[in-house]
Amino acid sequence: MAEPDPDTPHRLGDLTRGEHMLLWAFRAEAFGAGQCHLVRRQFEQACGPVGAEALNALVVFVRELARRGKRRIGICAPGSYRLSRDEQLILAVFAAAQAEQYDRMAAHLAWLVGAEPAPAFPAAACLVADALALNGLILRLPDADPGAWSTLEPETIEEPSVVFLSPARGRG
């Protein structure tokens, strides 16, 4: 039985500054607080002139995921110290974009979206990842060994701490 990868973040404290900032903004948008001035200021201070554009691209990513996604995505509440499996996958998407591993990014996106991702997803992921990289905010790629992920214990997140971005209802 393979051991879980010790480099894969499982808690907020395990994240780098860039990963934390990305996840903080993602959670805020997923919970409807995307217009938070603290999130916007953090991106502008960390990324300079491209900070606002990077944050707008992240907003597009989250909204498109909620609108076009074919599966439910588990996101912990803003301020939660835990990371859900889906949040780890989201970080992996942006890390692959930053590392210019586009095939890997596409594979992560297909799993995250539950279908072939629309062009908005990789475009937004690359814009955000590049803005972070240009400002020294590096996103770490998780171990590519699928055995490291498959042996993790089942999640025990209680329902009030998780929101699920679900596919939009009533689409034709």
pLDDT in tens, 41-63: 999 999 999 999 999 999 999 99
Least confident range of 36-40, 58-62, 117-121, 128-132: 36-40
Q: What domain range is 130 assigned to?
A: 14-141
Residue 20, C-beta contacts closer than 8 angstroms, at least 6 positions apart? 12
Residue 110 lies in a domain: yes
For 144-172, the pLDDT digits (tens) are 654 444 444 444 434 334 555 655 544 44
Residue 162 lies in a domain: no
Query: What's the N-to-C CA distance of the chain in angstroms?
Result: 44
Residue 53 lies in a domain: yes
Residue 160 lies in a domain: no
